[in-house]
Amino acid sequence: MTPASRKIYVAGHRGMVGSALVRALTAKGERDILAIDRSALDLTDQKATRDFLMTEKPDEIIVAAARVGGIEANRSFPAEFLHENLAIASNVIHGAFEAGVKRLLFLGSSCIYPREAPQPISEDALLTGPLEPTNEAYAIAKIAGLKLCQFYRRQHGVCFHSVMPTNLYGPGDNYHPERSHVIPGLIRRFHEAKQRGDSEVVIWGTGTPLREFLHVEDLAAACLRLIEVENPPDWVNAGSGGEVTISELAALIAEATGFEGEIRTDPSKPDGTPRKALDSGKMRALDWTPKIGLRDGLAETCAAYAREHAADRH
């Protein structure tokens, strides 16, 4: 279908990923992007979601709507993380099928893979071992979404498929001090420490876990590429290929925010999984290469935080 003639529904368009997708689709010339605010449509409401999809009948859907959060939010609210994310996946995927949607891309997360999976983690490591306990609830919901896509495709011939990004960051993130992911959490903490003139900043855990970070614009480019592939894999990893320890990340964020004091670890806080590097070979074979390095991406995200913070949005 040509870009001019298709109607694409971006579920979750206000979130960091959804808003990056809308920017990328718009830049590509897509003219019929469908988006609806949470106040007007609650995707955990099955009937409302079905009615919306039956009325609007989009040609394609990208599912970026989710309840997300960092390690502490995942650990504290597992019931909501499982229930809400399962409901969103089930309502949107089944509703899409009922509304005759031919193509749907579901967004998951690298935490779907077993904690002890061989690194870098390839797609076929799915369901080969126990999950990381701090995000088991979120992971189970995302595995269910991926499997719904796989099984609707297998049984009904619709092109429903998934992408599993590594840890994401970029403009429009959630900067809640306890519930955010590590990058926005630390940007805020270092920024505030710099403003107050503090002599030290404390980071959670031992600082030794390794994480792979991908800028959300690189993920948006991967999604746009995937929705053009004629016969895409059922699910495909999307990572940057680089890894840093949390201590190295903290040093980079200190540099980007201009904080010059001491960085201390707090091992009483959870580390989560020790490492989750993705093997993104399949995605790279589809001619996708991430373009934004971590240092540049952090500098840009810190600037976005300062702008968003100045606008009093947090």
Enumerate binding residues for ligand GFB (CB under 6 A): 70-72, 74, 109-111, 134-135, 138, 167, 180-182, 185-186, 203-205, 209, 211, 246, 269-272
**Token code pair at residue 206:** 């031992």
**Dihedral sign, Cα of residue 150, residue 117, residue 212, residue 314:** positive
Whole-number Cα distances in Å, 102 to 45, 158, 191, 226, 261: 22, 5, 45, 14, 54
Quote the CA–CA distance of 49 and 41 in Å, as a whole number. 7
Q: Which is nearer to ligand GFB, 9 or 106 (CB)?
A: 106
Count CB-CB contacts under 10 A for residue 118.
11
Q: Which is nearer to ligand GFB, 34 or 254 (CB)?
A: 254
- Residue with CB nearest ligand GFB? 70
Q: Are 132 and 242 in contact (CB under 8 A)?
A: no
Q: Which is nearer to ligand GFB, 261 or 270 (CB)?
A: 270
Whole-number Cα distances in Å, 132 to 13, 158, 256: 28, 32, 31
Q: Are 84 and 44 in contact (CB under 8 A)?
A: yes
Q: Which is nearer to ligand GFB, 8 or 71 (CB)?
A: 71
Count CB-CB contacts under 10 A for residue 89.
26
Q: Which is nearer to ligand GFB, 228 or 266 (CB)?
A: 266
Pinpoint the alpha helices (H) of the chain. 16-27, 46-56, 71-76, 78-98, 136-156, 182-196, 216-226, 246-257, 281-284, 294-310
Shortest CB 201 distance to ligand GFB, Å: 9
Active site residues: 138
Task: Of 57, 56, 52, 23, give the one whose Cα is nearest residue 40.
Answer: 52
Shortest CB 72 distance to ligand GFB, Å: 6
Q: Which is nearer to ligand GFB, 24 or 111 (CB)?
A: 111
Shortest CB 25 distance to ligand GFB, Å: 23
Shortest CB 161 distance to ligand GFB, Å: 19
Work out the burial of residue 47: count CB atoms within 10 Å of its CB; fewer than 13 is exposed, 13-18 middle, 19 or more buried.
exposed
Q: Are 218 and 283 in contact (CB under 8 A)?
A: no
Shortest CB 165 distance to ligand GFB, Å: 8
Shortest CB 260 distance to ligand GFB, Å: 19
Task: Of 213, 221, 199, give the one whose Cα is nearest residue 301.
Answer: 213
CA 17 to chain centre: 6
